[in-house]
Amino acid sequence: MDKIEKDLLKTIADIESTPIGAYNIRANGEKIARNTTANIDIKTKEDKPGIDIIVKENTVNESIHIPVIITESGLKDLVYNDFYIGKNANVVIVAGCGIHNGSCNTSQHDGIHTFYLEEGSKVKYIEKHYGEGEGTGKRILNPQTIIHLKKGASLEMESVQIKGVDSTIRDTKAYLEDDTNLSISERIMTHGEQYAKTNFYVELNGKNSSSHVASRSVAKDNSVQEFFSDVNGNNKCFGHVECDAIIMDNSKVISTPQIVANNIESNLIHEAAIGKIAGDQLTKLMTLGLTEKEAEEQIISGFLNS
Amino acid sequence: MLELQNISFSRDNKKILNNINLHIDSNKFIAITGPNGSGKSTLAKIVMGIYSPDSGKIIFNGKDITSLPIAERAKLGIGFAFQQPVTFKGLTVKDLISISAGENIKTCTACSYLSDVGLCAKEYINREINSKLSGGELKRIEIAMLEAKKSKLTLFDEPEAGIDLWSFNNLIHVFEKMHKEINGTIIVISHQEKILNISDEIIYLNNGEIKDIGSKDDILPQLLCQTKNCKFLNDESN
């Protein structure tokens, strides 16, 4: 691995040397490293590009890293990664994609991740998306996440787009059975002429299923963001969608939260707020000694990091 | 330490401050009092740089700061506690106290500031300063921030508003501690007799003008006398 690849890995998956536990590192469309453990198997798919990650029942305190990096300009990479999480397992999965585009051709990675969580299992899923490079070629990432939660399962997803991604369409679909919980926290920052679209589709099918989707985003320069959420309450359930955005310069943010109560026992809430940084917030930080620019950076970093 | 020369300020064709001249020495505890709308908060905001005066000069430690931006004044050693503390999404109590102190402070240091304002550090240190906190909690955190800032001149805009009696006593203690430790000047905008009572000097403002300045022994009896004009209070005392 060269320095660019190492830096990308560090940024998206916090990997500096060989990760502990199971991992599969994909670079420029090829597997470059893999490790399995007694409880976690990783197999290459035979019918299409991608891998199957199989976690045995009752596996706890283990992690799986599956980062993807692209440094070859013009490469279009499509992968299907399926996660099979056994009963009562409790694992952390770190995904993410980093693109370094040093040329004029478009580099693109579309990762389609499907999670099958068996009864009582728990997953913490972290994905980071990042683009860099001096080239004029576009850096495009279109992740899809499909989540199936069986009785008593829960998934906590942290999705972060740090910077440098020219265009992204992020689709997340979730199907929840009884006593399940889905918590999604999304953080996006766009700048320049970038475009980011997020779609959340949640079916709360099970009794006592609950979902919490929180999106915080900052749009700078001429960038455009769209946020769509569609949460359907089909049983006694609780669903909460929260979309907060800061707009700056000439940016534009569209937020369309939809909640559908198909059952009298469903309790659904959506909240959406878009606005520029409040003047009194800037003033307060300036009275503590920060310049206007420093205050702005502090407000954005706090907003996105929390 | 602070000198205001002929400060005037108008908004919407209304004169809010009219030719204010004031000299405040180092290491003093000053109270500014006066009826609502008398220009007290505006005066404090002009000193901090939040508002610019239409005319006049502000001299701080011998330097003309009239045209300096807020942050520069903060760095020179002026602090300001808002009457209505500002809330943020994402920034925590520790973040704000650290910014205020100008360094990444240790949890135990933050703990001592929070304890001084009657808050349990463990419970609050990582809390977001957002609208989920009560007005009283926000107010106390605001005061802890100013304690951490250690400014040579600290302005408090009605710090007692919205806090209960128990924390009010703590508040007086915080002022005394700051006064002693920093050897700076504290200016408090207040209506509270208890605060006026511990002041070295009271400035009485009315209709945008300084009507009186003096020691508490000179000013306080006059201020308290004014309540005799209140028919309701007179009836009650009879």
Q: What pLDDT digit, counting tens, does each position of A193-229 carry?
A: 999 999 999 999 999 999 999 999 999 999 999 999 9
pLDDT at A233 over 50: yes
Q: What is the dihedral of CA B66, B71, B73, B78, to 10 degrees?
A: 140
Rounded to a whole number, what is the distance in Å from the CA of A234 to chain B's nearest CA? 31
Chain mean pLDDT for chain A: 92
Question: Is the pLDDT higher at A277 or at A20?
Answer: A277
Q: Measuring CA to CA, how many Å separate B184 from each of A31, B5, B152, B187?
A: 64, 21, 4, 10
CA distance B154 to B227: 30
Q: Which residue of chain B is at minimal alpha-carbon distance from A281?
A: B86
Confidence at residue B237, expressed as pLDDT on a 0 to 100 scale: 45
Chain B positions touching A280 (Cβ under 8 A) are 86
Compute φ and ψ for A264, nearest 5 degrees: -60, -25
CA distance B32 to B47: 13
CA distance B199 to B24: 13
Helix, strand, coil shares of chain B, percent, nearest 5, are 40, 25, 35
Q: Which residues of chain B have pLDDT under 70?
A: 164-166, 225-238
Confidence at residue A185, expressed as pLDDT on a 0 to 100 scale: 95
Domain boundaries, chain A: 1-138+145-162, 166-275
Compute φ and ψ for A238, nearest 5 degrees: -135, 130
CATH class of B2-83+152-237: alpha beta
CA distance A173 to A151: 17
Confidence at residue B226, expressed as pLDDT on a 0 to 100 scale: 64
Confidence at residue B227, expressed as pLDDT on a 0 to 100 scale: 54
CB nearest to B80's CB, from A278, A287, A305:
A287
Residue % of chain A over a pLDDT of 70: 99
Chain A positions touching B70 (Cβ under 8 A) are 283, 286-287
Domain boundaries, chain B: 2-83+152-237
Question: Is the pLDDT higher at A181 or at B197?
Answer: A181
Confidence at residue A138, expressed as pLDDT on a 0 to 100 scale: 84
Confidence at residue B231, expressed as pLDDT on a 0 to 100 scale: 54
Residue B91 and residue A299: Cβ atoms within 8 Å? yes
Confidence at residue A294, expressed as pLDDT on a 0 to 100 scale: 95
Taking the mean position of all CA atoms in its chain, how far away is CA A205?
Answer: 23
pLDDT at A184 over 50: yes
CB nearest to A280's CB, from B48, B80, B86:
B86
CB nearest to B71's CB, from A278, A286, A299:
A286
Rounded to a whole number, what is the distance in Å from the CA of B138 to chain A's nearest CA? 13
Rounded to a whole number, what is the distance in Å from the CA of A302 to chain B's nearest CA? 5
Which of A67-76, A99-108, A155-164, B99-108 is modeled with the greatest confidence?
A155-164
- Model confidence over A269-286: pLDDT tens digits? 999 999 999 999 999 999
CB nearest to A289's CB, from B85, B88, B102:
B102
Predicted TM-score of the model (pTM): 0.84
Q: Which residue of chain B is at minimal alpha-carbon distance from A282?
A: B86
Confidence at residue B229, expressed as pLDDT on a 0 to 100 scale: 54
pLDDT at A51 over 90: yes
CA distance A280 to B80: 13
Question: Is the pLDDT higher at B181 or at A297?
Answer: A297
| ipTM value for the complex | 0.91
Q: Which residue of chain B is at minimal alpha-carbon distance from A273?
A: B89
Confidence at residue A18, expressed as pLDDT on a 0 to 100 scale: 74
pLDDT at A38 over 90: yes
Residue B89 and residue A302: Cβ atoms within 8 Å? yes
